[in-house]
Amino acid sequence: MTPAQLFALRTRIKICGLTREQDVDAAVAAGADAVGFVLYDKSPRYVSPKRAAELARRLPPFVTPVLLFVNENATKIIAACAGIAGATVQFHGEETPEQCLNATQQGARPFLRAARIPLGEAGRHFDLVKYAQDYSKAQAILLDAHVDGYGGSGQAFNWSLLPPNVNAHLVLSGGLNAANVTEGILQVRPRCKTLAVDVSSGVEMSGPGNKGIKDPEKINQFVAAVRAADQQLAEMSKHV
């Protein structure tokens, strides 16, 4: 296998909904490629732009901070990004392609656009190919389940109903954890250019009141499961 093929198979990992210093440190130590901060004030994982900047300053080089917004105005998005070097924007509401470009200064700042995939058989009718074309300026399309509310569903949609070929980089999200992420990667990776995964509730402490409180052991287990999927893909590619 060529280095380029190995590079394409490597699944990048984002740990989202971070609210504490120790959780940022745990994500970095486990090998996360990106960490996410939710700047949507209706989310239980909400942090202010000031707090997100404080947490982002702990990041070493080459770990990307991602700022999640839901239907926020461009001025506030630009201001929040100005305080966090190298931030990527994640649009998780009803933002149009034009609104995404305006809030990222015509795409000068990279952004992800969330696609909210209906649960069950209804997911078959979501036109992800067209969606990716409509948001072709996005760095990647993030796939989440469509449920009431915004900012991350914590539920998994039916991966097998996704189109067989999407000309985009994809980020698989929604209800992922160490037990199911390997299967998610094996299902979705062959359908796109490259694949990343995004986890939040799947690496949190158990019990009520722990939204935004991450469990270092679960983070490590999740990362290990992702790497196991990459290894399986590498082995499968040898026989193609």
Q: Choose the catalytic residue: 16, 81, 100, 192.
A: 16
**What's the rounded Cα separation, in Å, for the pair 68 and 54?**
16
Among residues 188, 64, 77, which one has the least CA distance to residue 123? 188
DSSP letters spanning 109-126: S-EEEEEEEESGGGGGG-
Active-site residue, 100 included: no
Q: What secondary structure letter does DSSP report for 218?
A: H
**Dihedrals φ, ψ of 143, to 5°?**
-100, 120
Q: Choose the catalytic residue: 100, 144, 192, 198.
A: 144
Active-site residue, 230 included: no
CA end-to-end span of the chain: 11
Question: What tokens does 2 get?
Answer: 């060529």
Residue numbers annotated as active site:
16, 144
